Amino acid sequence: MSGVPELNDIDELLAGLDEEQYEAVTAKSRIVVVMAGAGSGKTRVLTRRIAYRIASGGAAPEKTLAVTFTRKAASELSERLWSLGVDGPAAGTFHSVALRTLKRRHGHRTPKILGSKASIISRVAGNQADAALVREVSREIDWAKARMIPPSRYLTAAADRATAIEQHTISAIYEKYEAEKERRGVIDFEDILLRVTSDLEQDPRFSAEMQSLFRHIYVDEFQDVNPLQYRMLSALMTDESDLFVVGDPAQAIFSFAGADPGYLTGLSERQEDVAVVRLTGNYRSTPEIVEIANSIPAAEAPAKLRPTLPEGAHPEIRDFADEEAEARGIARLLRDGYESRHGWRSSAVLYRIAAQSAPIEAALHDHGIPFTVRDGLFTQRPEVASALQRLKEADAAPGIALSGLVAEIAEEIAEGEDEKANLEVLLAMAEEYESIAPGAMGDAAEFAEFVRQSRETPARSGNSVTLLTLHSSKGLEFRNVIIAGCEDGLIPVYHSKKRAEIDEEQRLFYVGVTRAREKLTLTWARQRRTGQGISAREESPFLAGPRAALRALAQREIPTKDWGKEIAKQRSAIGKPHDADATD
């Protein structure tokens, strides 16, 4: 296969593009920013742009670099380019590109890459080290390095961040972590980008070599770029380089990890000769689901989505008595909506926090519905697995109820909010077990085995419902989507107080809604068990827009109307205090 399509293939490359996609693919500017709405064909535009530029003689394949955020996305991009007759462009994640560049610069002297931070963090943390602490410190180090913050500046920079562990502890461990890495002569994954950026900025000869090698740069999911990645990208460019970026500010959901969507929305102010193109046609979801998506005022959404597919079923909002009733209702929805031609794999249940999966796992197990938990089975989460192991090893303690024993263990090992939430679910299960088997005093090992067995439902040949968090759903799509826990305190999550945090929660909800192709159901529970017992719940303020959209749909008011009043109402509702009893 030829690496460069013949010039007479250009018409074929442009065939089938809508007006907006055509404008993006053929834009003449040196820098092109594509604001690509959900389901608008951004990967198609990205690959066609690369192929078009090469076919028209505007770019050489060997000087073309495409950067993605996952290996899967890089592989898919390369495969699509190959199908278009294009071979030669380099494609990879920021880290893989940086590592190749680092090895090009240092050869066999390239430092050894640390596979995981956990071993060093555990060592330098000493007696404090447990799974929750290691995980939290690792997250904070990732965030700090993404924003190029050394240990000496961590406390000042992180002052407004909510962390599960005292920040002075994190700062001290971060400093010891860096010193131990230096002593061992190793670097971590974030250091790869830091080292490469430093080399490019300090060595003019090396930077000129790399800038000549990568004259044409393409970046996918640009709303997820962090300051370190942007700086590395800037060091690879000259005034002669061309840049093509694709992203959606309405799907910017990773600021907690250091991402800054301002690099996407503000690129036209930072650079000269910039063309901004908006893709609004949605080729994924039915008009009814698009209507729901457009009713969510996702902060900085470039434009409302434009439906292109035939009409389908109306989305639904359902409420239930409690989280267990909600889980059973979800199981019935999945069972009743099952179609053999699509299989179970075409459905997904999304939720805000991982702890929500426990009752859903149990309900699907009871209904014989195969499922896969993308974020790990409830029983496989470190804190739950640790608690179950301790229960199995515990001796029967006269006079101590099983739930009391679980509560003691949970108090000892819980650190972060996620861990506490999962262990609260385990405690609720212990209380339920006691109610089923009165007098279960210290029957810990039997209970631990009961929990394990009741939640093991293997998938049948990969044909299973997917359970996953809203964050993990990014980039995926399913025929049938159920979003569970659409209540205040979960969506938005209870610790989101600042305007920017609430806006990001709203974008996260928008991401979840736009994963659905044909069917969408939003569910919530009128009461839910938390660490303080059973608390009454209210539906999410984010449902105000979807409810108005459903009323409009009932009257067949399509296309999309003006949502100004509903958005104002929703923003007003979001401003009220959140339920302090909620869990994360």
pLDDT tens, residue by residue, 298-357: 755 567 999 999 999 999 999 999 999 999 999 999 999 999 999 999 999 999 998 899
First CA to last CA across the chain, in angstroms?
52
Q: Is the pLDDT of residue 50 over 90?
A: yes
pLDDT of res. 27? 97
* Distance, CA of 25 to CA of 16 (rounded, Å): 12
| 502 in Cβ contact with 496 (< 8 Å) | yes
Nearest one of 518, 522, 530, 493 to 508, comparing CA atoms: 493
Structure tokens at 304: 């409302």
> Which domains does the chain possess?
10-103+202-279 (3.40.50.300), 115-187 (1.10.10), 292-376+460-555 (3.40.50.300), 378-453 (no CATH)
One-letter amino acid of 342: H
Spell out the residues 6+ positions from residue 129 whose beta carbon is closer than 8 angstroms to its own: 121, 122, 123
Residue 512 has pLDDT above 90, yes or no: yes
* Band of pLDDT at residue 582, cut at 50, 70 and 90: very low
Which pairing describes strands 465-469 and 347-351: parallel, antiparallel, or unpaired? parallel
Distance of CA 364 to the CA centre of its chain: 24
What pLDDT sits at residue 244?
98
Residue linked to tokens 């380099």: 90
Confidence of residue 216 (pLDDT cuts 50, 70, 90): very high
User: In what side-by-side order are the strands of the sheet with 216-219?
Assistant: 90-93, 64-68, 216-219, 242-247, 31-36, 274-279
**Helix 357-366 crosses helix 323-336 at what angle (to 10 degrees)?**
50
Mean pLDDT of 509-530: 96
Range with lowest mean pLDDT among 149-153, 173-177, 266-270: 266-270
Which residues pair with residue 469 across a beta bridge? 351
Mean predicted confidence (pLDDT) in 192-199: 96
d(CA 170, CA 129): 12
Q: Closest by alpha carbon to 172, among 152, 146, 143, 145? A: 152
The proportion of the chain whose per-residue pLDDT surpasses 70, expressed as a percent, equals: 84
- φ, ψ of residue 290 to 5 degrees: the values are -60, -40
The predicted structure's pLDDT at residue 388: 79
| Predicted pLDDT of residue 379 | 72
pLDDT (tens digit per residue) in 460-470: 447 999 999 99
- Tell me the per-residue pLDDT of 120-167, one tens digit each, with 9 for 90 and over: 999 999 877 787 888 899 999 999 999 999 999 999 999 989 888 999
Strands (E), 38-155: 64-68, 90-93, 112-113
Question: Average pLDDT for residues 201-224, to the nearest whole number?
Answer: 96
Closest CA to 65 of 38, 33, 100: 100
Confidence category of residue 449, pLDDT binned at 50, 70, 90: low
**CA angle, corner 476, sides to 91 and 280, nearest 5?**
85
Sign of CA dihedral 181, 182, 184, 190: positive
In 3-state terms, what secondary structure has residue 91? strand
pLDDT of residue 126: 86
Q: For the ranges 110-119, 364-373, 376-385, 469-478, which has the lowest average pLDDT?
A: 376-385
Give the H/E segment covering residue 529. Answer: strand 527-530
The mean per-residue pLDDT over the stretch 210-220 comes to 96
Confidence (pLDDT) at 570: 56
Q: Which of 263, 258, 261, 260 has the alpha carbon at shortest distance from 249?
A: 261
> What average pLDDT is seen over the chain?
86
More confident residue, 376 or 520: 520
CB atoms within 10 A of CB 568: 12
User: How far is residue 48's CA from residue 319's CA, in Å, rounded to a whole number?
Assistant: 44
Q: Minimal CA–CA distance to 530: which of 494, 567, 561, 570?
A: 494
Q: What amino acid occupies position 518?
A: E
Question: Which of these, 521, 561, 562, lies nearest to 543 by C-alpha position?
Answer: 521
For residue 519, give the amino acid letter: K
Beta strands 316-320 and 516-525, pairing class: parallel
pLDDT in tens, 433-448: 665 555 544 467 667 7
Question: pTM of the prediction?
Answer: 0.82
